[in-house]
Amino acid sequence: MIDVRENDFSIDEVVENTRKPEMGAIALFLGTVRNFSRGKAVERLEFESYEGLDVEKLEEVRKETIDRFGVTDVSIIHRIGTLQVGENIVVIVVGSAHRDEAFKGCRYAIDRLKEIVPIWKKEFFEGGSYWVGEEEAMDRESMAKDTRVSMVDISQKELSLRTAIAEGFAILAPETVEAIRLQKTKKGDVLSVSETAGILAAKKTWDLIPLCHQIPLSSVGVSFEFLEDRVKAVCEVTATYSTGVEMEALVGVTTALLSVWDMVKYLEKDEDGQYPTSRLEGIQVTEKRKSVVE
């Protein structure tokens, strides 16, 4: 039972829809709107989601929880819209043969939901509101008074297996894309060179972005796809470490695309030596995963 809805849910109904004869334990997590947060009295919350992708990602959480912990079934319902103090936000029900798997699966499901499901929360309080995750923007005055920077201390964080996937596009003339595909460019095999460039860049992220940690990467993969007027690049990075590898994936995919552009820029110039249509776009992290190292 997976759903994203505006109306409230019945906890009993969700439990009954999840219950199966082979279950010896059912664990339940219920998230509700509290009246106080970050030192302020909360008046209400508003939730927005990416319609379609929200349910798809919840299904992904369900499948991951079942596969990882061997539980029998998982139900998740998350509400959107305006919610008042005391109202239900999300319910997660996990059933399994034994209680340990049910407890662990329930905890994993809510943590994973917060990581990958495109549902955003806005808190309203007397005199203002903000989207959760943008606390820094609320404290610009204090930030202006203290301009010191420092790397985040991760020495006390446990090691986790972390993966990040980023993608992006190099917008090029269709003729240029065809030349790349047929390997008919002056500088040689565009994709082989650009793949190497992306891998090397990901490994050097810590040297390019000042406050990134020097992460020992386990693997970096760069792949490409030809479309009519663009080349799509995907960079997947994995590491067992105490912090994520999103920046490494983004640096990798961006550098790979820049290398593509560099190798075909002579084909993209107009008569004035300009690049009227060539550009990079859509660079984003499409997925990140974290799992406990046992």
Give the residue from 140, 173, 205 where a domain finishes: 140
Residues 121 and 251 both lie in one domain: no
**Exposed / middle / buried, residue 2 (Cβ in 10 Å: 0-12, 13-18, 19+):** middle
Residues 112 and 190 both lie in one domain: no
CA 170 to chain centre: 22
Beta bridge partners of 90: 31, 78
Is 149 contained in some domain?
no
**Gyration radius from the chain CA atoms:** 23
Give the residue from 112, 140, 168 where a domain finishes: 140
* The pLDDT value given to residue 133: 56
* The pLDDT value given to residue 192: 96
* The pLDDT value given to residue 150: 72
* The pLDDT value given to residue 142: 46
* The pLDDT value given to residue 148: 60
Is 249 contained in some domain?
yes
Give the residue from 108, 140, 172 where a domain finishes: 140
Residues 171 and 276 both lie in one domain: yes
Q: Which of 119, 129, 126 is nearest to 51 (CA)?
A: 119
Report mean pLDDT in 10-residue bins for the chain, 294 residues.
Answer: 92 94 95 86 90 91 94 95 94 94 94 90 81 50 52 82 97 96 94 97 94 94 96 97 95 98 95 94 95 80
Residues 164 and 136 both lie in one domain: no
Is 147 contained in some domain?
no
* The pLDDT value given to residue 285: 96
Tell me the residue range of the domain where 209 lies. Answer: 160-292
> How many Cβ atoms from other residues are within 10 Å of residue 212's Cβ?
19
CA distance 4 to 62: 14
Residues 125 and 173 both lie in one domain: no
Does the global pTM surpass 0.85?
no
* The pLDDT value given to residue 29: 95
| Residue owning tokens 């790979």 | 256
Is 93 contained in some domain?
yes
Residues 8 and 134 both lie in one domain: yes
Residues 128 and 175 both lie in one domain: no
Q: What CATH number is given to the structural domain containing 224?
A: 3.30.70.640
> How many Cβ atoms from other residues are within 10 Å of residue 254's Cβ?
19
Q: What CATH number is given to the structural domain containing 13?
A: 3.90.1170.40
Q: Which residues are catalytic?
A: 262
Residues 110 and 165 both lie in one domain: no
* The pLDDT value given to residue 126: 78
| Residue owning tokens 């309080």 | 125
Residues 32 and 67 both lie in one domain: yes
Is 152 contained in some domain?
no
Q: How many domains does the chain have?
A: 2
Is 151 contained in some domain?
no
CA distance 208 to 220: 17
Residues 93 and 178 both lie in one domain: no
Residues 56 and 186 both lie in one domain: no
Instruction: Write the Ramachandran bin of 50: left for phi over 0, alpha for psi from -120 to 50, otherwise beta.
Output: beta
Check: CB of residue 113 under 8 Å from CB of residue 55. Answer: no
* The pLDDT value given to residue 157: 82
Is 71 contained in some domain?
yes
Residues 104 and 185 both lie in one domain: no
